[in-house]
């Protein structure tokens, strides 16, 4: 009787382990939204770990999917204070632009938007303001790290819909990222990425979404 109970409990444990692994895998894959149209009017380089993202931008450009790149200036915190003390540093957004140019994209095809962005929502709001003055741009591709794509898509669709802009939003996660959506629980960095994104998605749904609706 005791042996049979142990066998049953062991079987239940095995089932639970497989259910957990399956759920984890689905979570990782769900975060990585990918939807690249045959052609787009512009791509948006979202700031963050920009080397892997700029490489993806260069690939899209050389594949002929789009000739235009939009980057929103991100907040550099005490950047102005450094300048006032005589220190000169290259802003991350400018490094990203220079890298895109070095990879073969003409500088004339890159639009730098003011914004002092501190979040993806700030970037979306800046892009939305720009699109309102550019009626010809109705197909965009977001370029970012794989785990960031789902949240970025949610934010941009929310902001653009509120502004009554019928803009198609595609997603191109960087294939140069080391993130593994199938086995993300095996690496500390991937675990941090997934948990961080899930928390940020929850934060957007509960708090930031209201800000997005009010801002427009």
pLDDT along the chain (216 residues), means of 10: 48 38 74 94 94 96 96 82 79 92 96 91 95 91 97 96 93 96 90 90 82 58
Cβ atoms of 35 and 170 closer than 8 Å:
yes
Domains of the chain (ranges, CATH numbers):
2-215 (3.40.50.620)
- Residue 127: alpha-carbon gap to chain centroid: 14
Which among 103, 192, 198, 187 is positioned nearest to 143, based on CA atoms?
103
> What is the phi-psi region of residue 73: left when phi exceeds 0, alpha when psi lies from -120 to 50, beta otherwise?
beta
CA dist., res. 204 & res. 210, Å (int): 8
DSSP string, 181-211: TTSGGGSHHHHHHHHHHHHHHHHIIIIIHHH
Q: What pLDDT score was predicted for residue 91?
A: 82
**Tokens 């006032």 identify what position?**
84
Single pTM value for the model: 0.85
Q: What pLDDT score was predicted for residue 3?
A: 47
Q: What pLDDT score was predicted for residue 170?
A: 97
């Amino acid at each position: 009787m005791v042996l049979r109970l142990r066998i049953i409990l062991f079987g239940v444990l095995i089932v639970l382990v497989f259910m957990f692994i399956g759920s984890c895998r689905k979570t990782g894959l769900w975060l990585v939204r990918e939807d690249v149209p045959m052609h787009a009017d512009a791509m948006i380089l979202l700031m963050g770990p920009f080397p892997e993202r700029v490489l993806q931008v260069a690939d899209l450009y050389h594949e002929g999917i789009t000739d235009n790149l939009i980057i929103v200036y991100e907040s550099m915190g005490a950047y102005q204070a450094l300048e006032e003390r005589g220190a000169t540093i290259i802003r991350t957004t400018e490094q990203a632009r220079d890298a895109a140019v070095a990879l073969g994209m003409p500088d004339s095809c890159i639009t730098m938007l003011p914004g002092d962005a501190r979040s993806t929502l700030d970037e979306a709001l800046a892009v939305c303001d720009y699109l309102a003055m550019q009626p010809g741009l109705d197909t965009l591709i977001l370029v970012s790290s794989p785990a960031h794509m789902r949240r970025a898509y949610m934010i941009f669709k929310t902001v653009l819909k509120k502004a009554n802009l019928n803009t198609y939003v595609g997603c191109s996660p960087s294939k140069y990222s080391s993130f593994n959506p199938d086995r993300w629980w095996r690496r500390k960095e991937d675990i941090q990425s997934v948990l961080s994104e899930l928390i940020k998605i929850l934060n957007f749904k509960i708090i930031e979404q209201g800000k997005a609706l009010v801002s427009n």
